[in-house]
Structure 1
Amino acid sequence: MLKRTRSLLYLCIVTALSPALPSQANSLDLPDIGTAASGTLTIAQERQYGDAYMRMLRNSQPIISDPVINEYIESLGHRLVANANDVKTPFTFFMIRDRNINAFAFFGGYVALHSGLFLHAKSESELASVMAHEIAHITQRHLARSMEDQARRSPATLAALAGSLLLAIAAPEAGIAAMTATTAGNAQSQINYTRSNEQEADRFGIATLAKAGFEAQAMPRFFGRLADEYRYASTPPPMLLTHPLPEARITDSRARAASYPEKHLSPSLSYHLTRSRIVARYAGINGEAALDWFNRAEKGASQQLKPAFDYGRALVYLDKRDFDKAQPMLEALLKQDPNNNFYLDAATDLYLGKKEYQKAQSLLETALKVNPKNPVLTINYANSLIEDSKNQQAVKVLQRYTHDNPDDLNGWHLLSQANSHLGKSQEDLAARGEILALKADWNKAIQYYTQASKLADLGSLEQARYDARIDQLMSQRDRFMALQ
């Protein structure tokens, strides 16, 4: 019973992982029922729950806070969102370090990708097909509709079900207990409802994929390959457990994709640069294994992807502090494409590793003139200033950055570090308080701000700012707790 309930809970959490229905071809096959849940759970409530879930995930999952990777998946995701139907919330895309093939979406427009997807998706269109599927789960409000369906068949209210979901993330066993009464008796209907959501998300996702200029055929190709690869596996990847791929679903997606013009796109260098970065740093393999992977992968690849493999090798050498091997590779890549953030980020690491701080700063200052306020460049620039003991200058950069990007842990970590070096304990505590709040550790966040307030001069503007933030955090904590 416990295993069944746990899987049902997980089905609810990840119910948004499927591609979507075409808006032009065969557009009359399905009615637009994406707003069916609007009468019970509002968009504002979904966003509130989504924010709460995201804070819990930051505290419990190995989320990759890599500015370069985040920039790529956000760019790709928003290209898809711009071509999706029924978009009612902002979208946030992020990556979890996990070699298992999976992705999931939840309230508030949040889409998570496992790093393992990049090891199995062979092209940008294949990765985009998974993301389009997840986007469709959100735009069609499948999680809210699934909960609404459960609420009709049980004494539980939609708010109670959503609260149990949040509680399950915060304290898994308690959440499972809370869900038992409402889900354990409805296993088959929940599974059927989820399968219909998967098919609907496939159809809407293919439409989004095609409209965004990707290969519509990439979705059935990727899912078909997964189904064939794991057909007889004793432990299939989580994606196939929560998003089963019966032959009927694959056949339907192939027919749907066939109604769109076939495209043959050139390989995306940005996708393969991201893939190389994941292999080098987040695949859980050592440097020698990563170098072997790059050498084998390059043999059958297009010549235009050679920079991606050189970049991956350069990262391995950087991480091994073999700067003599990394430097000629990175400088050659920068010469080819001087405004490429993948190369600029790695070159910054190279120069900082060699303690050539001014060289790193000059490189980034030039790049920031072309692309001001870019998160990758700004974070690297702030880090280079801290490494060069220019902490006061770094604080000024990071204060602007954290104002513009308040949910980025990288900015707060660096701001804490710079203030600590300057001996500004109260500002260090405030930055650490923001990190804790982003992870839903409200009481400790309030505690850190309270300590900061005590360190500030009595009656100063600084103290007033800390006290005002304490009031805000207490209100946020109360709203968060009320959700459970």
Structure 2
Amino acid sequence: MFKRTRSLVCLCVAAALSTPAPSLANSLDLPDIGTTASSTLTIDQEIQYGDAYMRMIRASQPIVNDPVLNEYIDSLGHRLVANASDVKTPFTFFMIRDRNINAFAFFGGYVALHSGLFLHAQSESELASVVAHEIAHVTQRHLARSMEEQARRSPATMAALAGALLLAIASPEAGMAAITATTAGNMQGRINYTRSNEKEADRFGINTLAKAGFDVNAMPRFFGRLADEYRYASKPPPMLLTHPLPEDRITDSRARAQNYPARRVDPSLNYHLARARIVARYAGIESKAAQDWFKRTQKKVAPNLKVAFEYGKALVYLDNNQLDQAAVILNDLIKQDPHNLFYLDAMSDLYIAQKQAGKAESLLKQALKSAPNNAVITINYANALLKQEKNEEAVKVLQRYTHDNPKDVNGWHLLSEANIHLGKSDEDLAARAEILALKANWNKAIQYYTQASQLAELGSLKQARYDARIDQLMVQRDRFLALQ
């Protein structure tokens, strides 16, 4: 649904942020362009809309809720954010399972990557160039500025445009009508505005790349390869529809890259591990094809990266219940690098598949001593406890985890499962209500909390906690509905 929506609005309010920027953005001496949109849409309002859009996306898109990949994307993204200019919002990075090459950003610092991006980016620097570009869309407030320009061209207000986008995510047909009614402007002007905007994001993005220690030449290299590959395609990937790549944009990024000193960037093992995990589990290809890809590609890489392809093979074996083959590879990998999160996660899965969850618990408990608050280790540790029916212990771990990571549905799912095993129906309902709220299903979430409150002891602290959460959800629901 969101892909359809994005194509509808890509030239006006596009959630993919292939959106407008004023012509003065081509100047080398830029003003504080963030203030352009501030008169009509504040940073707080952007964050509010971003939270609303994210809830709709969770309800409509195949988000990859993979703790290891989430950790990798988050680490990469925040390394770039730490070196970006004009950061005014927090940032959230997430992945959508989609083989199409695409990435997009929207209000509130949310940046989405399609899993297909990893299949085409050949290095971490190439992936980082895309992420840096999307970060620049957010920091330079391109979506707000685009909508402000659109409001100038039509009778629409900023609120009407933002509400139309939210409505479009919730209901594409209704959203199409709303957007059509609020976007009467000159098409050529919008196209030119978008091209200017893309160049501005490239310029800020390449500077962020350089400051973060990546290879700046990765941006024009990736752009050029994409343009060559799809030059005559009848159906180009979404990224080229929402992020046009005319020759002058590629030339411009190449020229800018030459202004930075040459830097040797060593290949990232974690990038190749993440890529192998996506090929094994999220590329939608059969296991034999995945194994063939690992064997074929492994021959072309540097010796120190070959372990990433062994890891990919092990995941395919593991997912096909070929446990002995998986064990041979994983035991070797974990010996080489006992603190690697990719290996710890896979080794935990292997032990559980072998009906040896106690070994997984011991492995992860030891790992927690070195990284006590790590999300990947903690969620795997809780799962290992659950597999041994140590539900009380699991609940204690998961209560702390969901407090620290309230937007991670993995934690709430496991907490729900643990409470079901313990016969605590009220706590199960509360955990499931949180998942529903994360997907903007407010009424069902409130209903579940109401049922939980009715099950709790009258006048207890637990009942008071449920009732307080009901009040919070009702306020959030009303704010959400007001945005439409």
Coarse TM-score class (shorter-chain normalised): over 0.9
The equivalent of 1:201 in structure 2 is 201
The equivalent of 2:113 in structure 1 is 113
Contact kept, 8 Å, 1:5 with 1:183, in 2: the verdict is no
Q: Give distance in 2, aligned partners of 1:289 and 1:184.
A: 48
Q: Give distance in 1, aligned partners of 2:148 and 2:84.
A: 24
Contact kept, 8 Å, 2:104 with 2:111, in 1: the verdict is yes
Q: Give distance in 2, aligned partners of 1:312 and 1:17.
A: 34
Tell me how far 1:30 sits from its aligned partner.
4.0
Q: Give distance in 2, aligned partners of 1:8 and 1:190.
A: 14
Contact kept, 8 Å, 2:280 with 2:287, in 1: the verdict is yes
Deviations 1:251-279 (A, max 9, x none): 11111111001222111000000000000
Q: Give distance in 1, aligned partners of 2:154 and 2:10.
A: 19
Identity of aligned residues (%): 76
Instruction: Verify: 1:284 aligned to 2:265, yes or no.
Output: no
State the one-letter code of the partner of 1:222. F
CA spacing shift, 1:4–1:105, aligned 2, 3 Å: closer
Tell me how far 1:195 sits from its aligned partner.
1.2
Q: Give distance in 2, aligned partners of 1:5 and 1:210.
A: 34
CA spacing shift, 1:83–1:5, aligned 2, 3 Å: closer
Tell me how far 1:186 sits from its aligned partner.
3.4
CA spacing shift, 1:171–1:34, aligned 2, 3 Å: same
Deviations 1:17-59 (A, max 9, x none): 69x9xxxxx9935444233111110000000000000000000
State the one-letter code of the partner of 2:202. D
Q: Within 5 A, what are the aligned runs for 1:202-217? A: 202-217=202-217
Q: Within 5 A, what are the aligned runs for 1:48-447? A: 48-447=48-447
Contact kept, 8 Å, 1:53 with 1:169, in 2: the verdict is yes
Tell me how far 1:184 sits from its aligned partner.
4.6
Q: Give distance in 2, aligned partners of 1:198 and 1:393.
A: 50
Instruction: Verify: 1:10 aligned to 2:23, yes or no.
Output: no
Q: Give distance in 1, aligned partners of 2:166 and 2:120.
A: 31
State the one-letter code of the partner of 1:102. N
Deviations 1:444-470 (A, max 9, x none): 000100111111111111111111111
CA spacing shift, 1:30–1:249, aligned 2, 3 Å: farther
Contact kept, 8 Å, 1:17 with 1:201, in 2: the verdict is no
Q: Give distance in 2, aligned partners of 1:61 and 1:95.
A: 10
Q: Give distance in 2, aligned partners of 1:182 and 1:481.
A: 19
The more displaced of 206-215 and 189-198 is 189-198
Q: Give distance in 2, aligned partners of 1:199 and 1:4.
A: 25
State the one-letter code of the partner of 1:274. A
Q: Give distance in 1, aligned partners of 2:480 and 2:77.
A: 28
The equivalent of 1:36 in structure 2 is 36
Contact kept, 8 Å, 2:129 with 2:218, in 1: the verdict is yes
Contact kept, 8 Å, 1:13 with 1:105, in 2: the verdict is no
Q: Give distance in 2, aligned partners of 1:111 and 1:375.
A: 20
Tell me how far 1:373 sits from its aligned partner.
1.1
Task: Supply the RMSD in Å over aligned alpha carbons.
Answer: 1.7
Q: Give distance in 2, aligned partners of 1:315 and 1:255.
A: 41
Consecutive unaligned residues in structure 1, runs of 5 or more: 21-25
TM-score if structure 2 supplies the norm length? 0.96
CA spacing shift, 1:174–1:80, aligned 2, 3 Å: same
Q: Give distance in 2, aligned partners of 1:300 and 1:229.
A: 21
Tell me how far 1:165 sits from its aligned partner.
0.5
CA spacing shift, 1:326–1:208, aligned 2, 3 Å: same
Tell me how far 1:106 sits from its aligned partner.
0.0
Q: Give distance in 1, aligned partners of 2:185 and 2:92.
A: 34
Tell me how far 1:170 sits from its aligned partner.
0.6
State the one-letter code of the partner of 2:468. A
Tell me how far 1:475 sits from its aligned partner.
0.5
SS in 1 for 2:34: coil
Contact kept, 8 Å, 1:5 with 1:184, in 2: the verdict is no
Contact kept, 8 Å, 2:7 with 2:14, in 1: the verdict is no
State the one-letter code of the partner of 1:79. R
Contact kept, 8 Å, 1:4 with 1:184, in 2: the verdict is no
Contact kept, 8 Å, 1:52 with 1:166, in 2: the verdict is yes
SS in 1 for 2:315: helix
The more displaced of 407-416 and 185-194 is 185-194
Contact kept, 8 Å, 1:433 with 1:444, in 2: the verdict is yes
Contact kept, 8 Å, 1:16 with 1:133, in 2: the verdict is no
Tell me how far 1:310 sits from its aligned partner.
0.5
Contact kept, 8 Å, 2:6 with 2:15, in 1: the verdict is no
TM-score if structure 1 supplies the norm length? 0.96
Tell me how far 1:217 sits from its aligned partner.
0.7
Q: Give distance in 1, aligned partners of 2:454 and 2:439.
A: 24
SS in 2 for 1:410: helix
Contact kept, 8 Å, 2:94 with 2:111, in 1: the verdict is yes
Q: Give distance in 2, aligned partners of 1:229 and 1:6.
A: 23
CA spacing shift, 1:17–1:132, aligned 2, 3 Å: farther
Contact kept, 8 Å, 2:386 with 2:394, in 1: the verdict is yes
CA spacing shift, 1:230–1:468, aligned 2, 3 Å: same
Q: How many aligned positions are there?
A: 476
State the one-letter code of the partner of 1:37. A
CA spacing shift, 1:6–1:340, aligned 2, 3 Å: closer
Contact kept, 8 Å, 1:395 with 1:415, in 2: the verdict is yes
Tell me how far 1:441 sits from its aligned partner.
0.2
State the one-letter code of the partner of 1:282. Y
SS in 2 for 1:273: helix
